[in-house]
Amino acid sequence: MDTMRLVFEHALDVSFGECEHREAVAELTALARRDRSAVEAARVRAMGLVMTRPNDEVGRTALSLLDEVLRRGDERHRWHTQRRFDPWDVVANTRTA
């Protein structure tokens, strides 16, 4: 399973459960393996869920978690700089990280 899918599915899983927010952010950050583009791609998928089902609390929670992962990773300089995420580059975004 590629990193983006792993991050996305874990964000949904913890959103279903009663995982503590801070712990979930730490887990998602670790799963991303310093790949910001994986979190960005997972966030785009979560945005799609929220756009198609705006009242879906699980999708909204997953999006919130992924936003926090990006913000904290940026603040703490956790990301590798080799790859940028382009939501329109479908081929590049389907490659495994």
Q: Where are the domains of the chain?
A: 3-82
13: how many CB neighbours lie within 10 A of its CB? 14
91: how many CB neighbours lie within 10 A of its CB? 6
pLDDT at 90 over 60: no
Q: State the Cα angle at 44 between 76 and 86, rounded to 5°.
A: 80
CA-CA distance, 31 to 21, in Å (whole number)? 15
Structure tokens belonging to residue 25: 């952010």
pLDDT at 88 over 80: no
CA-CA distance, 76 to 55, in Å (whole number)? 32
- Supply the pLDDT for residue 92: 62
pLDDT tens digits, 1-48? 799 999 999 999 999 987 898 999 999 999 999 999 999 999 999 999
Identity of the amino acid at 51: M
- Supply the pLDDT for residue 84: 61
Burial of 89 (0-12, 13-18, 19+ CB in 10 A): exposed
Model's pTM, two decimal places?
Answer: 0.82
Structure tokens belonging to residue 66: 């992924």
**Do 61 and 15 touch, CB atoms closer than 8 A?**
yes
Average pLDDT, the chain: 88
